[in-house]
Chains A and B, each alone.
Chain A
Amino acid sequence: MPFSLNEFKKLRLDLMAKAKEPLSHPRVIVGMGTCGIAAGAQEIYAALSDEMSREGLRVQMKRVGCIGMCEKEVLVDVELPGTPRYTYGHMSPDRVPKIVEEHIKGGKPVDEWVVGVITDPENPYADLPFYAKQRRIVLSRCGFIDPESIDDYIAMGGYGALVSVLSTRNPEAVIEEIKKSGLRGRGGAGFPTGLKWEATRKAGGDKKYVVCNGDEGDPGAFMDRSVLEGDPHSVLEGMAIAAYAIGADEGYLYVRAEYPLAIKRLRLALKEAEDYGLLGDDVLGTGFNIHLKIKEGAGAFVCGEETALLASIEGERGMPRPRPPFPAQKGLWGCPTNINNVETYANVAAIIERGSDWFAGMGTEKSKGSKVFALAGKIANTGLAEVPMGITMREIIFDIGGGIKDNKKFKAVQIGGPSGGCLPEALLDTPIDYDSLTASGAIMGSGGLVVLDEKNCMVDIAKFFLKFTRSESCGKCTPCREGTMRMLEMLERISEGKGTLEDLEELERLARIVKDASLCGLGQTAPNPVLTTIRYFRDEYEAHIKEKRCPAGVCSALIAFYVNPEACKGCLLCQKACPTGAISGQRKEPHVIDRSKCIKCGACEEACPFDAIVRGKEGVA
């Protein structure tokens, strides 16, 4: 039943009006993104459904994507007719009966488990610090709509931008609007989106492509996954608008295979949109054609680089190609191709609907709008936060993120994944935008923020990322292939206490060469974690080199485990946990670790309930 433009406009208004009607029955909403499901949302959903049918209650059950509070998953919301939406966090099946009895049947929320209340969906959880400073554009519908229902998306205004573009604007006007908004690519480098579109439109040739980069490979980033899982149509709508603007009739969504749920929901969304006539031939009877297909990534980080991604869509080894020519001139199968990432496309419809002035009113001079950051690591509130550009890192980590987990001390924040860097406390008050981050030695990247505390070793972190880039280097160009390998060897020497100050100098020098001489973004940015950790945490490197000491107690060659006899209660738990039988001692007597048998696995430390296992320097009793 493909709709005509007018039919669809009417359907849209009907759905939007219906969504505004007051509830007739209680509504129960379960967060079913990957995070929610991993925390057990399916079991909770089943338990709730069972309980409702047992009690014979008429309740509307709804599945939604991630609302961003990963720390508090599983999240279940209860909304009764005429009341706000109450959110329960850390839900477990045994909490279900009480919530059904007291809240759904009795009308009284179970206050002790409520983690937030939504009175205004435009401004959710306004009184929670996690949300107060957020500005949600890309995530505005995540957690509110059923991602498997196109009607839900339309009811919240979805596909209005596409309708407006198709009925009232020519492609040039669309490009102008995007250019004026100041939107820059959200995938990493921050190239102005409008300029990219313009270049692709102006490139010669009849056949053009739009491509969505959903190969979110940066460890620590999961915003694209959440958007694809929670609001897939927003990406499809953005791509359709881009295709119209540049004159493309075909496109691909390249999504990594590690995101099966995102792929499943995207497939469903594609089918629904085609059924409604919003994608495919003769969209809404306007004569515009756009065919979108999904390509599953096959597990290669380098495919996040645009030219490598195109090679992968073509069925080749995903190896980057020199630029120029840029994909806008010569992309997929030699045709002009516009590539943007998931979050970039997800901004497009909002800009068209609310205008470039509105969008450009947010952010800093050169970085407009909002950015979604994924908060992870040693931060109290892990999750997704969408904030206006120009906010400081301190606000994100301490106001929104709630500071450091377990009251430890902040050491650094890693931003931008393997292409980014580690920033120290002193830089926390810099307003975040593309340019300030680049100046600091990191990059915006996709927006993964991994917070590190005093227990993390910066040499170890640099080594971690270099191991990653070394193994993901495609091997095409020498600086990246050999350079990352040699850099890793130097880092390994340092972390084993065998490094010299010359190694450190040599490491910095090589890092600069790899940065300058590599073919693609992978190699050009691979040294960033090393360079920033040396720049801001040189003392830690020097401790490893001069004193053969790992200040954070991480690098296993430089540490040893000891029992603090005063704290040890002689409970035998560490003895049971030790895989090599290195711990001896009678019950109720302080235990002793036999250093010749100890493999430094840390199992005893984890098992000890009294914090009696301490990490000290290797070679000192």
Chain B
Amino acid sequence: MTDGEERDGGKERVGGGPRGFEVNLDKVREILKAHKGERGGLIGILQETQAAYGYLPRAALMEISKTLKVPMSKIYGVVTFYAQFHLKPRGRHVIRVCLGTACHVRGGEKILEKVGEVLGIQPGDTTGDLEFTLERVACLGACGLSPAMMIDDRTYGRLTTKKVEKILKEYSKEAQGA
């Protein structure tokens, strides 16, 4: 649910550049085994692959293409259609700031700006240390608590720019501690 420009992944956006290691294909092979013979399983396989690698490495997609006997062009078509899929490495934490109607009228843009300012990145970008990726999302369904954002699977509501600073500080602390 991001803007088209960010969805196609056409621009080099990762701050620190791709990590320089070989992609281990064991994980994707295991996923493919679990889905063997399943009809219409491509999206599910891609979702699990992304969960395993944090993004969709080209080598993993080739493996999927080979095993399912689906052309790479078709896989690329599916991957780039859905906002959820990413062809570039992403941060350990994904921050999704809600810009749905309720959040829009209650100042969601200011929250997005604040997060961007604190992390020093634009929506769609990942911090250089691969800790955070910032995204906008069309609606989290937490309209009753707007403006809202989600960090990984956790939703934060009734945000103010001050609260955002506090929340991000907690996450940064955790990152330094880790």
**A and B bound?**
yes
Question: Residues of B contacting A219 with CB < 8 Å?
Answer: 99-104, 138-139, 143
In the assembled complex, the Cα of A130 lies from the Cα of B2 at a distance in Å of 35
* CB <8 Å contact, A220 and B82: no
* CB <8 Å contact, A35 and B84: no
In the assembled complex, the Cα of A472 lies from the Cα of B78 at a distance in Å of 15
Which of A71, A297, A315, A468 has the most chain B CB atoms closer than 10 A to its own CB? Answer: A315
Judge if A581 is at the interface, Cβ distance under 8 Å.
Answer: no
Shortest Cβ gap from B87 to chain A (Å)? 14
Judge if B142 is at the interface, Cβ distance under 8 Å.
Answer: yes
In the assembled complex, the Cα of A99 lies from the Cα of B30 at a distance in Å of 51
* CB <8 Å contact, A315 and B102: no
User: If A377-B101, A378-B105 touch, does A35 touch B145 (CB 8 Å cutoff)?
Assistant: yes
* CB <8 Å contact, B157 and A315: no
Question: Residues of A contacting B161 with CB < 8 Å?
Answer: 603, 606
Question: Residues of B contacting A456 with CB < 8 Å?
Answer: 105
Which of B3, B85, B101 has the most chain A CB atoms closer than 10 A to its own CB? Answer: B101
Shortest Cβ gap from B148 to chain A (Å)? 7
* CB <8 Å contact, A73 and B145: yes
* CB <8 Å contact, B1 and A221: no
Shortest Cβ gap from A454 to chain B (Å)? 12
In the assembled complex, the Cα of A464 lies from the Cα of B143 at a distance in Å of 16
Judge if A295 is at the interface, Cβ distance under 8 Å.
Answer: yes
From B82, which residue of chain A is reached at the shortest CB distance?
A298
Judge if B62 is at the interface, Cβ distance under 8 Å.
Answer: no
* CB <8 Å contact, A258 and B139: yes
In the assembled complex, the Cα of A417 lies from the Cα of B138 at a distance in Å of 11
User: If A298-B84, A312-B43, A602-B110 touch, does A579 touch B117 (CB 8 Å cutoff)?
Assistant: yes
Question: Residues of B contacting A225 with CB < 8 Å?
Answer: 141
From B113, which residue of chain A is reached at the shortest CB distance?
A601
* CB <8 Å contact, A382 and B145: yes
In the assembled complex, the Cα of A295 lies from the Cα of B39 at a distance in Å of 12
User: If A257-B84, A606-B110 touch, does A222 touch B117 (CB 8 Å cutoff)?
Assistant: no
Number of interface residues of B (CB under 8 A): 50
Judge if A333 is at the interface, Cβ distance under 8 Å.
Answer: yes
* CB <8 Å contact, B144 and A35: yes
Please tell me which one of the listed residues A71, A217, A314, A383 contacts residue B139 in the complex, with CB atoms under 8 A apart.
A217
* CB <8 Å contact, A38 and B139: no
- Contacts of A201-240 to chain B: CB distance below 8 A: 216-222, 225
In the assembled complex, the Cα of A361 lies from the Cα of B30 at a distance in Å of 55
Please tell me which one of the listed residues B44, B143, B155, B156 contacts residue A220 in the complex, with CB atoms under 8 A apart.
B143
- Contacts of B97-151 to chain A: CB distance below 8 A: 99-106, 110, 113, 117, 137-146, 148, 150
Number of interface residues of A (CB under 8 A): 63
* CB <8 Å contact, B105 and A374: no
Shortest Cβ gap from B83 to chain A (Å)? 3
Question: Residues of B contacting A300 with CB < 8 Å?
Answer: 1, 81-83
Question: Residues of A contacting B3 with CB < 8 Å?
Answer: 471
- Contacts of A505-561 to chain B: CB distance below 8 A: none
Shortest Cβ gap from A468 to chain B (Å)? 6
Judge if A386 is at the interface, Cβ distance under 8 Å.
Answer: no
From B153, which residue of chain A is reached at the shortest CB distance?
A260
* CB <8 Å contact, A317 and B101: no
In the assembled complex, the Cα of A313 lies from the Cα of B40 at a distance in Å of 6
* CB <8 Å contact, B78 and A315: yes
* CB <8 Å contact, A222 and B113: no
User: If A219-B102, A258-B140, A296-B44 touch, does A376 touch B157 (CB 8 Å cutoff)?
Assistant: no
* CB <8 Å contact, A220 and B148: no
* CB <8 Å contact, A70 and B139: no
Question: Residues of A contacting B18 with CB < 8 Å?
Answer: none
* CB <8 Å contact, B142 and A38: yes
In the assembled complex, the Cα of A471 lies from the Cα of B102 at a distance in Å of 19
In the assembled complex, the Cα of A601 lies from the Cα of B101 at a distance in Å of 19
Per-position contact with A for B21-49: 1 when CB-CB < 8 Å, else 0? 00000000000000000011111101100
Per-position contact with B for A292-307: 1 when CB-CB < 8 Å, else 0? 0001111111000000
Judge if A448 is at the interface, Cβ distance under 8 Å.
Answer: yes
Which residue numbers of A lie inside 8 Å of B, CB to CB? 34-35, 37-39, 70-71, 73, 216-222, 225, 257-261, 295-301, 312-319, 333, 374-378, 382-384, 414, 417, 448, 450, 452, 456, 461, 464-465, 468, 471-472, 474, 579, 601-603, 606
Given A73-B145, A382-B146, A465-B101, 5 extra CB contacts under 8 A:
A299-B84, A315-B44, A378-B106, A417-B101, A464-B104
